[in-house]
Structure 1
Amino acid sequence: MNYPCELSDQPSQPVLSIRTRSAVENLPQVLGQAYLTVLRYLAEIGEQPAGPPFAAYYNMDMQDLDLEIGFPVAKALTGRNEIQPSEIPAGKQATCLYQGPYRQIEPAYQALMQWIQEKGLLPTGAAYEFYLNDPRETPESELLTKIAFPLKG
């Protein structure tokens, strides 16, 4: 498959998110619950997401993933309980667009990592996934995920 990779400049993006840990097999439930919690809070305070839901992965330990799960927002907002204000940092990112079932995303990660290496770029170690369509309304084969690796320098 072809995984289009590119370099982009990301402005800082305020988010409301939940930081948690999970094993990879529990991700569907953990992500779903976190998105629902953040969406309910946004509705309660009269705000809307300013973009698609995301998950940030701060490690790749499949049994103990360090995750940040949430939504971009138009401006910095206050959180409550486990929902905290944060931001996707400004800077250069290497990105790749993947189409297909979430559980088969690994080749897109490998393609992006190879592309980064070939370009002589250095990732920060975090990885973001932006879920561009709704898995409740979209066939698995048509799910779109944007993978982004923030870069050093």
Structure 2
Amino acid sequence: MEGIEMNDQCEIEKREARPVLVMQTHVSVQQLPQFLGRAFAAVIGHLGMLGEAPAGAPFVAYHNMDMQNLEIDAGFPVAHEVAGAGEIKPGFIPGGDAATCLHVGPYDQVGAAYEALTRFIAANGRKAKGVAYEFYLNDPTTVEPSKLETKVLFPLE
């Protein structure tokens, strides 16, 4: 497909609803890395206290794209519904059709995946709805930036 870089692979998939544990906040894009580190560690710690483990990659749900006031949920999918505590809240990633695009490269270049996914959705005659999700498939502390894998997901109408 014209305009999609070789490292941005898009597809439509059918997904089951997934229970999650998250921390919610409003944050600027500049403060996002610090918040994500704290949120992911807090959710992992809470799961450990419950004798549970994550059931998938860490993710962020973006409820808006206001770079100075992002409304986000950050956390992990879990195998079944579990109780939250304090700032940690249970929730769900909805099921149904979703368009996804795998971006390989630095996080600051993931915008290319959003552009590719938007074109892909339009080319398939579909419309995105609601929240945009990013799943971080490998660890930026052990993988060089050019090999980071981010799966961008838009639920579809």
TM-score (ref. length: structure 1): 0.97
Structure 2 residue 115 is matched with structure 1 residue 78:
no
Q: Using the alignment, how far apart are the partners of 2:32 and 2:138 within structure 1?
A: 17
What CA RMSD, in Å, does the superposition of the two structures yield over aligned residues?
Answer: 0.7
Count of aligned positions: 152
Q: Using the alignment, how far apart are the partners of 1:119 and 1:33 within structure 2?
A: 38
Offset from partner CA, 1:80-122 (integer Å, 9 cap, x none): 0110110100110000000011011111110100111111111
In structure 2, stretches of 5+ residues that fail to align are none
Q: State the identity %.
A: 48
2:60 to 34, 55, 64: 55
Q: Which residue of 1 aligns with 2:41?
A: 36
Q: Which residue of 1 aligns with 2:141?
A: 136
SS of the residue 1:145 aligns to: strand
Q: After TM superposition, which residue ranges in structure 1, 4 or more long, deviate above 3 angstroms?
A: none
Q: Using the alignment, how far apart are the partners of 1:108 and 1:70 within structure 2?
A: 21
Offset from partner CA, 1:104-151 (integer Å, 9 cap, x none): 111111010011111111111311000000111111110000000001
Per the TM alignment, residue 25 of structure 1 is displaced from its structure 2 partner at its CA by: 1.1
| Match runs of 1:1-153 below 5 Å | 1-2=5-6, 3-152=8-157
SS of the residue 1:4 aligns to: strand
Q: Using the alignment, how far apart are the partners of 1:69 and 1:120 within structure 2?
A: 30
TM-score (ref. length: structure 2): 0.95
